[in-house]
Amino acid sequence: MFPEESKPYVLTIHGIRSRGEWQERSAALFKPYYRPREFKYDEYLHATLSFVWLALQPLVGILGLLLVFAIPLLWHPFGNVWDWLLGVISLALLWTLSGLLASRRLNRVAAKFATFWGQTVGFGVPPHIVAHSLGTFIAGSCLAKFESIRAGIVIFNGCVLNRHFPWGDLRNAFRIRQVRNEIARKDWVSRVAYLLHGSIPKMGHAGVLGFHAPPHTYTWNDPHRVYWYCEKDCACGIKNEGLTAFVHNVVYPELGHNDISLGPAHAIAFWLPALWGIPSLPYIQFRELCIECRKAEREHLPILSELEAKLRKTCWGWTEGPLEARLRRQIKSRLKQSALEEFDIGQIVSLAVRNLWVAVANAVEHSGEEAYAVNLNPDQALLHAVEATLANANVTAHQGSATPTPGRSSGIGL
């Protein structure tokens, strides 16, 4: 397990009409690798419609509607152009007033988050941020306003920020590392938020159309392929034309405003790999193949050797080449030259492959236990597998002597 004080923070922010139940569910997933902290606010808990200006300032909005229709009717039942013009002007003034009041209210919530950020993070490593709906506006407002606030990876869904949000300026000031903007094409709330673009600064519908600031942004129509890049001599030969972008718009064509934050499956499949900086599709395939290896071993199926061969010869994106090559490099870096000459590296790699799929399969089966769940991170699982293999093979690491040592339990849930 990682020492608690060494884990980066992950700050989560919910939207309106919500107590952030998804934040608690996500916290359980983040905890083996990060220190999750939930930002809560009550200002918009009882709003009736998400991000309609009527919901943000209902009394002002209702009064504006009454003025549009009541004033002309009271003066002239049949009305004339000047009466209707007066009503429209009155509505425009009240719309502007509504926007100013809404902005003040939103700024108060944003200031609360800034205080929360400072009290939680302090001078530590910039935290990652995961935000939904109005939470994206709160996070974006703080990043734009407060120079002291920095972030690592930002994950937005149901985003209601303007499409032209100045991410480039934040990146140039070293205040942001990467943005994953998850676009739900059936998100009507983000579409309605566009109506507030003129009255509330920075409000918009990036949750539907994505951020637009070339060359900093790139849109992915396949959410599984984001961040997948390998070197030119890699066996898989994958290249990403969007690699230079640091703002990734990731499209989910069938999802709505609240669908992404409803359950943990999305966080496991997409959020964790994004925070780890690995492609989600090969990660899911790698994890499933480890589970198949465990099943084949338990049922004494002859296909196990074939599954292991596929596991070790495949490039999984994060391995930067075939898995066996990554393991070989890792093992060699931890051994003295005398140990390299004494032991069969190929045999050690084979043992490490087995320890790896066992660790990952155990992590899936016991994901509720932090000692096991930490191995859902494939890089961490690989390091643990190498340590366990060297220990069980009585091989001393690079820091120790070259003489064989007694076998010891690795204590990593293998």
- Tens of pLDDT along 95-115? 666 656 666 778 888 899 999
Tell me the torsion sign for CA atoms 273, 260, 185, 189: negative
Flag whether the pTM goes above 0.85: no
Spatial CA neighbour of 29 closest among 207, 214, 267: 267
What CA–CA distances, in Å, run from 354 to 29, 147, 246, 348? 25, 48, 36, 10
What CA–CA distances, in Å, run from 364 to 208, 268, 349, 370, 377? 33, 11, 23, 11, 11
Report how far residue 65's alpha carbon sits from residue 280's, in angstroms, rounded to the nearest whole number. 48
409 has pLDDT over 50: no
Q: What letter would DSSP give residue 270?
A: I
Q: Does 95 fall in a domain?
A: no
Question: Of 277, 306, 336, at which residue does a domain stop?
Answer: 277
In this structure, the answer to whether residues 139 and 242 fall within a common structural domain is yes
pLDDT reported for residue 182: 94
pLDDT reported for residue 357: 96
The band of 235, judged by pLDDT with boundaries at 50, 70 and 90, is low
pLDDT reported for residue 164: 92
pLDDT reported for residue 126: 93
Instruction: Check: CB of residue 216 under 8 Å from CB of residue 247.
Output: yes
In this structure, the answer to whether residues 254 and 352 fall within a common structural domain is no
362-375 residue pLDDT tens? 999 988 788 888 99
Q: Does 237 fall in a domain?
A: yes
295 has pLDDT over 90: yes
What total of structural domains would you count in the chain? Answer: 2
Most confident stretch, 147-161, 192-206, 252-266: 147-161
pLDDT reported for residue 107: 81
In this structure, the answer to whether residues 298 and 263 fall within a common structural domain is no
pLDDT reported for residue 50: 39
Bond from prior residue into 322 cis (ω within 30 degrees of 0): no
Question: Of 277, 295, 327, at which residue does a domain stop?
Answer: 277
The band of 237, judged by pLDDT with boundaries at 50, 70 and 90, is low
Report how far residue 33's alpha carbon sits from residue 275's, in angstroms, rounded to the nearest whole number. 10
Work out the percent of the chain whose per-residue pLDDT is above 90.
36
pLDDT reported for residue 303: 95
What would the two tokens of residue 277 be? 């900086």
pLDDT reported for residue 268: 86
The band of 347, judged by pLDDT with boundaries at 50, 70 and 90, is confident
Backbone angles phi, psi at 356, to 5 degrees: -70, -50
Q: What residues pair up with 182 in beta bridges, in sequence order?
A: 157, 250
Q: What is the CA radius of gyration of the chain?
A: 27
In this structure, the answer to whether residues 35 and 174 fall within a common structural domain is yes
Q: Does 176 fall in a domain?
A: yes
Spatial CA neighbour of 371 closest among 408, 410, 407, 397: 410
Q: Does 209 fall in a domain?
A: yes
Domain span including residue 348: 285-392
Most confident stretch, 77-86, 136-145, 189-198, 199-208: 136-145
pLDDT reported for residue 77: 54
pLDDT reported for residue 67: 58
The band of 17, judged by pLDDT with boundaries at 50, 70 and 90, is confident
Q: Does 407 fall in a domain?
A: no
In this structure, the answer to whether residues 131 and 264 fall within a common structural domain is yes
Q: What residues pair up with 218 in beta bridges, in sequence order?
A: 248
Report how far residue 20's alpha carbon sits from residue 24's, in angstroms, rounded to the nearest whole number. 7
What CA–CA distances, in Å, run from 230 to 26, 235, 388? 30, 9, 28
Report how far residue 308's alpha carbon sits from residue 325's, in angstroms, rounded to the nearest whole number. 14
Q: Which residue has the higher pLDDT, 181 or 17?
A: 181
pLDDT reported for residue 75: 57
80-93 residue pLDDT tens? 666 666 666 766 66
Q: Does 376 fall in a domain?
A: yes
Question: Of 239, 257, 277, at which residue does a domain stop?
Answer: 277
In this structure, the answer to whether residues 205 and 340 fall within a common structural domain is no
In this structure, the answer to whether residues 43 and 126 fall within a common structural domain is yes
What CA–CA distances, in Å, run from 116 to 13, 227, 306? 11, 31, 52
Q: What residues pair up with 153 in beta bridges, in sequence order?
A: 178
Report how far residue 199's alpha carbon sits from residue 52's, in angstroms, rounded to the nearest whole number. 12
In this structure, the answer to whether residues 266 and 125 fall within a common structural domain is yes
In this prediction, residues 251-256 reach a mean pLDDT of 87
Q: What residues pair up with 248 in beta bridges, in sequence order?
A: 180, 218
In this prediction, residues 151-172 reach a mean pLDDT of 93
In this structure, the answer to whether residues 212 and 332 fall within a common structural domain is no
Q: Which residue has the higher pLDDT, 353 or 264?
A: 353
Q: Does 53 fall in a domain?
A: no
pLDDT reported for residue 124: 84
In this structure, the answer to whether residues 19 and 144 fall within a common structural domain is yes
pLDDT reported for residue 377: 93
What CA–CA distances, in Å, run from 380 to 1, 345, 369, 373? 10, 21, 16, 10
In this structure, the answer to whether residues 150 and 213 fall within a common structural domain is yes
Backbone angles phi, psi at 260, to 5 degrees: -65, -35
Spatial CA neighbour of 106 closest among 207, 209, 16: 16
Q: What is the CATH number of the domain that holds 116?
A: 3.40.50.1820
CA dihedral of 364, 370, 372, 374, whole degrees rounded to 10: 80
410 has pLDDT over 50: no
Q: Does 59 fall in a domain?
A: no
- Report helix, strand or coil for 217: strand
Instruction: Check: CB of residue 185 under 8 Å from CB of residue 210.
Output: no
pLDDT reported for residue 213: 85
In this structure, the answer to whether residues 159 and 299 fall within a common structural domain is no
In this prediction, residues 326-345 reach a mean pLDDT of 74
User: How much is the mean pLDDT over the chain?
Assistant: 79
